[in-house]
């Protein structure tokens, strides 16, 4: 008898955010990732649509990793009635709890501000979800063991393996009626300062492959030189070096790089402040889950002793007022919110300030405006002239590039029936499609948002 499997591409399809893949089988229905759409308004509006499938008919959710674009819709799904387990590795669930609570707080604050300033079309404006929805979601978390097959129904089992993207991140293999489905998650770098190289799948009948950097090769790592140069210049100018940073992984990576430079006496001794409440929580998880990354616990603690961790907003002000040269690493990474705004509001109009953008800056963000040489940016309703020097560091990335993506598939022993390219912008998806054809000659398809693919197994 043939078994019909349906795959619903509900997000992360034709775009990089909102990852959600619903798999309907005769035995169980499950969801791989449940992310929030981010970026331009037309994408963000999708978060407000009702889920196109009855949440009560989903038996479980498997998470590849904790990032908001893979987990951020969970509280909305729970609000719509989802009550079953949400599975992931221990660090994934730990970081997801931090991220979801932060996201709920932002949703609540946005709604409150809209009501106060009355700019919303809706009266009263409601948050997408609340802290209580996030807490209910966290209550459904259930951790899994790595590298082992777990049977969930007569003919379905799954296995998690790490893939080097962020702490606890994985790819997921699911065997359904003896066919193997592989969901890559976001794949990390072959050489990473913090994480082991990604494991690779050895068999895939159907591969769902991320394509974020499907059209690009990362430049050689020149971050040490950029840090050394920027810090020396900051000391000479008696200024401040502000580094906007993501709280998860990027912050810890930058800290470790600076720590290594300090140890090697490559940079002058100036105070380094970490101002990221969410980053602090993730630092705690890094310290706790030391087997999941490459820095020994003692070394990690030693590293922490070189940084001033800011916990209260009052200390943010004290740090801004402080007259000596310093480095401040603060969220958010694309200058869309967070403590970094307070620093830039008062320091971006000073020529002795340097802003170092340490990662990808999406369209529509202040980070992108700065990268493009904007002469002013609006912060807290006020236009601030940009007199600071703006630097960019492109080599730090938690994502595999085109070559690394192609290499990741190199240990698959069979000829896959189909490769589905997901989690990429159209040019990245198409570029990777061509490369896979050239190197492997596998059948590749690029599903569009809301496509449903039916397979007969």
Order of strands across the sheet with 170-176? 150-153, 156-162, 170-176, 179-183, 206-210, 418-422, 444-445
d(CA 365, CA 333): 10
Binding segment toward Zn ion, per CB under 5 A, in 97-105, 122-130, 185-193, 322-330: 185-193
Binding segment toward Zn ion, per CB under 5 A, in 107-115, 186-194, 277-285, 318-326: 186-194
Dihedral Cα 421, 88, 408, 252, nearest 10 deg: 110
Choosing from 186, 192, 215, 281, the residue that interacts with Zn ion (CB under 5 A) is 186
CA-nearest of 66, 191, 80, 69 to 136 is 80
Is 25 buried (19+), middle (13-18) or exposed (0-12) by CB count in 10 A? buried
Choosing from 67, 326, 339, 366, the residue that interacts with Zn ion (CB under 5 A) is 67
Q: Which two tokens stand for residue 279?
A: 């980053």
Give the nearest distance from C-beta 195 to Zn ion in angstroms. 13
Q: Classify 251 as helix, strand or coil.
A: helix
Site for Zn ion in 292-321 (CB under 5 A): none
Interaction between residue 192 and Zn ion (CB under 5 A): no
Binding-site size for Zn ion (CB under 5 A) equals 2
d(CA 418, CA 421): 10
Give the nearest distance from C-beta 65 to Zn ion in angstroms. 6
Cβ distance to Zn ion smaller for residue 11 or 239: 11
Cβ distance to Zn ion smaller for residue 212 or 319: 212
Cβ distance to Zn ion smaller for residue 67 or 76: 67
Binding segment toward Zn ion, per CB under 5 A, in 41-49, 178-186, 299-307, 331-339: 178-186
Determine how β-strand 150-153 pairs with β-strand 170-176. unpaired
Cβ distance to Zn ion smaller for residue 67 or 180: 67
Give the nearest distance from C-beta 67 to Zn ion in angstroms. 4
Binding segment toward Zn ion, per CB under 5 A, in 43-51, 72-80, 180-188, 297-305: 180-188
Cβ distance to Zn ion smaller for residue 9 or 343: 9
CA-nearest of 15, 123, 102 to 362 is 15
Q: Between the CA of residue 124 and those of 46, 76, 113, 115, 362, what are the distances in Å?
A: 20, 18, 11, 6, 30
Cβ distance to Zn ion smaller for residue 186 or 401: 186
Cβ distance to Zn ion smaller for residue 67 or 250: 67
Binding segment toward Zn ion, per CB under 5 A, in 182-190, 229-237, 271-279, 288-296: 182-190
Binding segment toward Zn ion, per CB under 5 A, in 66-74, 205-213, 245-253, 337-345: 66-74
Give the nearest distance from C-beta 383 to Zn ion in angstroms. 33
d(CA 77, CA 117): 29
C-alpha gyration radius of the chain: 22
Cβ distance to Zn ion smaller for residue 186 or 371: 186
Give the nearest distance from C-beta 66 to Zn ion in angstroms. 8
- DSSP annotation of 48: G
Give the nearest distance from C-beta 104 to Zn ion in angstroms. 20
d(CA 127, CA 432): 38
d(CA 21, CA 62): 10
d(CA 95, CA 68): 10
Cβ distance to Zn ion smaller for residue 67 or 326: 67
User: What is the contact surface with Zn ion in residues (CB under 5 A)?
Assistant: 67, 186
């Amino acid at each position: 008898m043939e078994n019909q499997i349906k795959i619903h591409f509900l997000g992360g399809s034709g775009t990089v955010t909102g990852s959600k893949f619903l798999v309907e089988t005769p035995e169980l229905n499950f969801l791989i990732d449940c992310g929030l759409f981010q970026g331009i308004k037309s994408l963000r509006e999708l978060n407000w649509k009702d889920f196109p499938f009855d949440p009560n008919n989903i038996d479980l959710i498997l998470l590849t990793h904790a990032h908001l674009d893979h987990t951020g819709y969970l509280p909305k799904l729970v609000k719509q009635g989802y009550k079953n387990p949400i599975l992931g590795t221990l660090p994934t669930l730990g970081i997801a709890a931090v991220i979801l609570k932060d996201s709920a707080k932002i949703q609540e604050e946005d709604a409150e501000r809209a009501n106060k300033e009355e700019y919303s079309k809706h009266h009263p404006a409601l948050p997408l979800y609340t802290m209580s929805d996030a807490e209910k979601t966290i209550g459904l978390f259930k951790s899994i063991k790595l590298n082992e097959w777990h049977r969930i129904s007569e003919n379905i089992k799954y296995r998690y393996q790490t893939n080097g993207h962020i702490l606890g991140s994985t790819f997921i293999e699911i065997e359904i009626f003896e066919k193997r489905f592989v969901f890559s998650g976001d794949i990390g770098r072959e050489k990473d300062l913090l994480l082991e190289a990604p494991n690779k799948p050895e068999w895939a009948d159907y591969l769902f492959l991320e394509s974020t950097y499907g059209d690009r090769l990362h430049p050689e790592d020149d971050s040490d030189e950029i840090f050394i140069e920027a810090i020396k210049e900051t000391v000479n100018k008696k200024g401040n070096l502000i580094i906007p940073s993501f709280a998860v992984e990027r912050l810890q990576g930058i800290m470790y790089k600076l720590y290594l430079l300090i140890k090697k006496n490559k940079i002058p001794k100036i105070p380094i402040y970490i101002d990221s409440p969410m980053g602090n929580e993730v630092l705690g998880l890094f310290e706790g889950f030391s087997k999941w990354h490459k820095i020994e616990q003692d070394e990690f603690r030693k590293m922490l002793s070189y940084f001033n961790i800011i916990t209260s907003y009052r200390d943010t002000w004290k740090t801004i007022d402080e007259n000596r040269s310093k480095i401040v690493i603060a969220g958010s990474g694309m200058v869309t919110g967070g403590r970094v705004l307070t620093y830039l509001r008062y320091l971006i109009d000073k020529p002795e300030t340097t802003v170092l953008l340490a990662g990808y800056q999406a369209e529509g963000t202040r980070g992108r405006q700065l990268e493009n040489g904007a002469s002013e940016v609006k912060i807290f309703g006020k236009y601030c002239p940009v007199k600071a020097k703006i630097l960019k560091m492109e080599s730090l990335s938690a994502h595999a590039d085109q070559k690394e993506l192609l290499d990741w598939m190199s240990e698959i022993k069979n000829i896959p029936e189909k490769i589905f390219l997901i989690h990429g912008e159209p040019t990245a998806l198409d570029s990777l499609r061509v490369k896979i054809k050239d190197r492997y000659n596998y059948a590749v398809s690029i599903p569009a948002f809301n496509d449903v693919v039916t397979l007969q197994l």
